[in-house]
Amino acid sequence: MDVVSPPSVPKTGLLHKRRRIEVKPSSAPKGGTSVHRPSATPAPGARSIKRLRSGASTSRAASEPATRVFALWKQDGHYYSGVVHSALPRRGSTKYLVKFDDGTEDEVELKNMRCCELNVGDNVIVSNGARGKVSDVRELESRGTFLVIVDDGKKTMTSEVELADIRIANRALQNQWKNRILNPAAIVTVVKPRLLTDTATPSHQSLASLSGRPQRELAKTGFVVTLSPKNSNPEQTKKSTISAIEQHGGELIDDWSSVFTMEGRHSQSNKRWTVSPDDFHFKEGVALDRVFLLADDANQKPKFLIALALGIPCLSFEWLTKVTKFSEDWQPFLLSAGYSDALGARVSQLVDLDWGNCSEYLQDILSNRVSPKLFSDRKFLCIGADFVPPYRGRKNASNLGRVREATRAVPWIILCMGASKVEAITDIKQVSSKELRSFDYVIVKDTADVEDLGAVTVATVTWVKECLISSRVVPTNWTQA
């Protein structure tokens, strides 16, 4: 008989996570409708994952099994296993009613469904929140289980996991599942679902054992730490933060250049420097799945501003110092992006709330569509000696003052904000008038430093920061507005 979705249950946490629902055989007469209610409510903050139904089915039998899919559950942005129950034709789109394996249901567009086929190498998230890769599917598919390699940064474990204990991160699916797009002509609906398994199967090493040993909850998680100028006890703050990171298996990162390639190309006797998106990518060999920035407050230091530009969450130290057990709930500890003079207000960060649930976020960092790419497809020229990084072979290249170091981060901030090309020169004489007009913006530390450049738009470093913090392109003369 058809199953009506269970009544709504209290939502906990920022992500409105799914709760487990146990489906019991119904005693309703044939042709009637049964309502499945939660048999128990997990403790607040408990990990959630969709579970496979043990007895639910539709009343209509057919020679072909219904199409099983991984479909998007928008409340938490992950894909879960289920069966296509019926088509819901709508003008301009194709929607289907998907009944998930935990007894809930939702209307899902075709573009947000994939064939329920796991392949070796697929990145998945299992029931305890651990991230892993599928290592074998051939001999285990008939039992509805799959071998998943879980790496906590210290030990690699292979576990046998049920399909219903697997969820797929949105970014991972968009990258890896392009060959499993559904053809609407091949979708079979309103038939008895093919249940994969009703009982737990013996495992090589149960995932439950992961929760029974000391947790490395921040394994393969990197942290860049920065302090605001107002911090009264920077040494103690940094010491306690580093201790908490190490205690829970995290990794301290000195600078973003430890995670991403940040070099560029010198020319004209090292007085000119050019960088493009091809020069910024996740470094090979870096064993991290996600990164965060930690700070005591919003600030305008390079580490903080680059994180904002990339959409990397900037979190308060309290996430490490005031919680006793880490989970994916880092969202309540988001700092503000900073104070916008143009808006006269503190502004929130613009980040993906599912950040870090798969490694694709780092591997394709500049393709993060959530972060505001305000300078998309624009070309920038930065004029001033402080914008040009020292040539790597130059002696004492690392002995830079803090002011110069901050200024030299500006081209990278602009690039991370979506620019297609950024150049830095020591003097305006290094470009011709014709070449100057090919740039959309010329950036200087102070407009008094350059003469009138005609039709070229001139802006300051302060303007770049203001655009980033306010998440909009403000007028270049906003200070006079």
Where does the pLDDT of residue 398 fall: very low under 50, low under 70, confident under 90, or very high at 90 and above? very low
Where does the pLDDT of residue 142 fall: very low under 50, low under 70, confident under 90, or very high at 90 and above? low
Query: What would the mean pLDDT of 360-383 be, rounded to a whole number?
Result: 92
Q: Compute the mean pLDDT over every residue in the chain, rounded to the nearest whole number.
A: 77
- Residue 13 is given by DSSP the state T
The per-residue pLDDT for 481 is: 47
SS3 88: strand
Q: Say yes or no to pLDDT of 206 above 80.
A: no
Question: Which helix or strand (DSSP H or E) is residue 414 part of?
Answer: helix 410-416
The per-residue pLDDT for 266 is: 94
Q: Say yes or no to pLDDT of 235 above 50.
A: yes
Q: Say yes or no to pLDDT of 421 above 80.
A: yes
The per-residue pLDDT for 393 is: 55
Contact criterion met (CB below 8 Å) for 98 and 105: yes
The per-residue pLDDT for 419 is: 96
Q: How far is CA 336 from CA 62, 174, 229, in A?
A: 55, 29, 16
Count CB neighbours of 339 within 10 A: 14
Amino acid at 11: K
CATH number of 49-211: 2.30.30.140
Query: What would the mean pLDDT of 335-355 be, rounded to a whole number?
Result: 92
Contact criterion met (CB below 8 Å) for 224 and 218: no
What DSSP line would sit under 120-163, residue for residue? TT-EEEETTS-EEEEEE-TTTGGGTEEEEEEE-SS-EEEEEEEG
Q: Residues spanned by CATH 2.30.30.140 within the chain?
A: 49-211
Condensed to tens digits (0 to 9), the pLDDT of residues 355-369 reads 988 888 898 899 888
Contact criterion met (CB below 8 Å) for 56 and 3: yes
CATH number of 221-480: 3.40.50.10190
Where does the pLDDT of residue 446 fall: very low under 50, low under 70, confident under 90, or very high at 90 and above? confident
Q: Say yes or no to pLDDT of 304 above 90.
A: yes
Amino acid at 449: D
Where does the pLDDT of residue 44 fall: very low under 50, low under 70, confident under 90, or very high at 90 and above? very low
Count CB neighbours of 170 within 10 A: 19
Q: Say yes or no to pLDDT of 344 above 60.
A: yes
Q: Say yes or no to pLDDT of 161 above 90.
A: no
The per-residue pLDDT for 45 is: 35
The per-residue pLDDT for 232 is: 80
The per-residue pLDDT for 216 is: 66
Condensed to tens digits (0 to 9), the pLDDT of residues 307-337 reads 999 999 999 988 887 665 655 588 999 999 9
Q: Say yes or no to pLDDT of 120 above 80.
A: yes
Q: Residues spanned by CATH 3.40.50.10190 within the chain?
A: 221-480
Burial class (CB in 10 A: 0-12, 13-18, 19+), 292: buried
- Select the more confidently predicted residue: 88 or 422: 422
What DSSP line would sit under 249-313, residue for residue? T-EEES-GGGTB----EEETTTTEEEE-GGG--BPTT---SEEEEEESS---SHHHHHHHHHT--
